[in-house]
Chains A and B, each alone.
Chain A
């Protein structure tokens, strides 16, 4: 065994840049785990595909030519952006939930006793989860030719930007929920009372026009609505303008929608960071 100068006890020099370093490490861990777990990556496509192929085709036939609201777009094409967003939504919230697993399995303690900023842990976790959901969403873009959707280079990059914002907003949301959860037992509650309603009200599966007032109000309160709508407008172009989200009589501009989702993410992140500071 070598006993070099290294073994001298006492404080050792510390690397600088604590906050950024912590964010990076927490993110790096999530990415490694994601990369290792390829079975999950494959499995994560099953659900979007089921929606697109079975649900989409089924409802297309049932609606016949009656899906006029979307103006010349088939139902499968209509839900395609919704399904991409759904994959972001689910994966972002599950990603946040991995914090609860970390707590159950003890790893969270390793982070909580470390001399690091807990805010950085929340940020790193959000970015890790966002990256994962983004990767899944980008892979789903490969399906575009099969549903008869094409996009230009410009719209691809616009789309990427919008997906980053959505992934960030929803991941921060997932981390915020998880930061307050002590055990996995609350998971079903989150699933049934938060995730599913958010998904159904987001306009992923049907246009948010001509709905009863109470539902219109709820859809406008759902942050996911402002994430999915701009993605759809970018993917489908002009026809999707007819189903775009309106506040009052005005169509909400894409930029504003993205801003709403981003702001939502920041608020959730602040909330999560505060929850992480808490000590019993």
Chain B
């Protein structure tokens, strides 16, 4: 991908984003739900028209040549977009044909990619019998089948258990290494963002920070210390006075950012007159960055509307048409 640059004037969803993603990069778009991540991806994938600004994907203008963009990108959506009544191989076959991958090459690619995502032995089972993780793997294989230059992934690990998520990342890295493509992904899992080369933190339709995971972490002043104690109010005042730090109060615990946590911790416990219950020290995570930059934490959300719809679909499924 060369020079992706966008500016939008849409008030609600995406409010002015400027961004360039380098070829071969794993770029993470991080933010809470409804921050504008999916909207941005939908614009880049030519599913949604932008209101203002310009966007190029792999050097192609998304408005002037949507078809050109479509043939150069692969997609893994937030919700599975597989045909559950076809087998894994048939889904890939269908995709290959839609994108005009010629016959012999198509067969070869399908075979190879099924091995990469370790689905070769289940390739001829119906997709409806797959687990969530398997479906995602199949979608990743499908997304790169036609040799796209950019693979977009919208919350590729949403709703998967931590172990499966880790595995998906291994596949993604394997695929990137093999295909040499750019990955552009959204997530609201902080720990995932750390697999990326660079991250943009987005909140309420705007980018609030951009950089490598370690650059972003360095925005938090060093280490994070969390102290729980009986009287946080008194302790906060004391810390402010004695160490000239500004602790954040959160549910009866205090959160401090200090340059050298290991050295500061003994001092804190020794000098504080308010009795301390527990103390913890950790390296800053991207959660801390997000909290610091936006003033609120990233929330995790459960079932969506669509999940309910799916339930209904299953109920209908027997007699109705699918």
Contacts and interface: CB of A to CB of B under 8 A. Distances in A.
Given A7-B179, A9-B180, A280-B48, A106 B112 contact: no
Contacts of A14: 71, 99-102
B179 A107 contact: no
Contacts of B95: 110
Interface in A104-120: 104-116
A22 B67 CA distance: 14
A97 B109 CA distance: 33
B98 A111 contact: yes
A181 to B, nearest CB: 13
A152 interface: no
A180 interface: no
A2 B112 contact: yes
A109 B146 CA distance: 16
A38 interface: no
Interface stretch (A25-33, A200-208, A261-269): A25-33
B309 interface: yes
B184 to A, nearest CB: 14
Contacts of B100: 14-16, 18, 21, 115
Contact of B77 (A1, A29, A40, A106): A106
Contacts of B252: none
A43 B309 contact: no
Contact of B321 (A13, A101, A108): A101
A29 B94 contact: yes
A12 B70 CA distance: 14
Contacts of A36: 85
Contact of A104 (B49, B94, B112, B306): B306
B233 interface: no
Interface residues of A, number: 48
Contacts of B109: 6
Contacts of B115: 1
B10 to A, nearest CB: 11
Contacts of A29: 83, 86, 94
A142 interface: no
B132 to A, nearest CB: 13
A247 interface: no
A42 to B, nearest CB: 12
B84 interface: yes
B129 interface: no
Contacts of A108: 81
Given A6-B112, A32-B90, A280-B47, 6 more contacts: A6-B108, A13-B102, A108-B81, A109-B77, A115-B71, A280-B49
Contact of A25 (B97, B102, B306): B97
B85 A37 contact: yes
A49 interface: no
B70 A115 contact: yes
The 3 closest A-B pairs by CB, nearest first: A106-B81, A115-B71, A14-B100
B309 A25 contact: no
A95 B321 contact: yes
B98 A105 contact: no
A116 B70 CA distance: 9
Nearest to A14: B100
A12 B101 contact: yes
Contact of A11 (B98, B147, B179, B312): B147
Interface in A220-275: none
B1 interface: no
A136 to B, nearest CB: 12
Nearest to B104: A6
B255 to A, nearest CB: 40
A212 interface: no
Contacts of B179: 7, 9
